[in-house]
């Protein structure tokens, strides 16, 4: 089980292992604004930030990669992954940005 907590300038990934809860700090120094996971692939999580763009993990928060090529803003204010609209193995990702724009990705947030 994983829990993701967006703090002011870091993301905490809380994991239960061997009956113990462990918290690991990720994306340190980055202001977290929103989080969403793919309902069909819960290990795939998207993290929107204020000023640093969109990040994705494919391994339940162990590693994070910046994604979202083509988004015209580094301030992601909302993120959602469709449970219905699928493109191959990925849920369609929707990202809202500062200045009231919406982007749609059918490749796991890459573009």
Q: What is the pLDDT of residue 72?
A: 87
Instruction: Report if residue 63 sits inside a domain.
Output: yes
**Count of other CB atoms within 10 angstroms of residue 6:** 18
Mean pLDDT score across all residues of the chain: 94
The string of pLDDT tens digits covering residues 18-56 is 999 999 999 999 999 999 999 999 999 999 999 999 999
- Using DSSP, how many helices (H) and how many strands (E) does the chain show? 0, 10
Instruction: Report if residue 24 sits inside a domain.
Output: no
Tokens representing 45 are 């999580």
Domain of residue 58 covers 30-105
Percent share of the chain, pLDDT over 70:
100
Instruction: Report if residue 52 sits inside a domain.
Output: yes
Tokens representing 8 are 């002011």
- The total of structural domains in the chain comes to 1
For the full predicted model, state whether its pTM sits above 0.85: yes
DSSP string, 67-80: E-TT-S-SBEEEEE
What gap in Å lies between CA 79 and CA 62, rounded to an integer? 20
Instruction: Report if residue 17 sits inside a domain.
Output: no
Instruction: Report if residue 10 sits inside a domain.
Output: no
Instruction: Report if residue 110 sits inside a domain.
Output: no
pLDDT band (50, 70, 90) for residue 84: very high
Instruction: Report if residue 94 sits inside a domain.
Output: yes
């Amino acid at each position: 089980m994983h829990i993701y907590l967006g703090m002011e300038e870091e993301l905490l990934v809380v994991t239960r292992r061997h009956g113990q809860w462990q918290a690991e700090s990720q994306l340190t120094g980055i202001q977290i604004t929103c989080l969403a996971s793919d309902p069909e692939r819960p290990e795939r999580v998207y993290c929107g930030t204020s000023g640093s763009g969109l990040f994705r993990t494919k391994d339940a928060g162990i590693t994070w990669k910046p994604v979202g090529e083509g988004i015209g803003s580094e301030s992601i204010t909302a993120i959602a992954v469709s449970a219905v609209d699928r493109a191959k193995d990925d849920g369609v990702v929707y990202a809202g940005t500062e200045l009231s724009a919406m982007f749609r990705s059918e490749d796991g947030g890459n573009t």
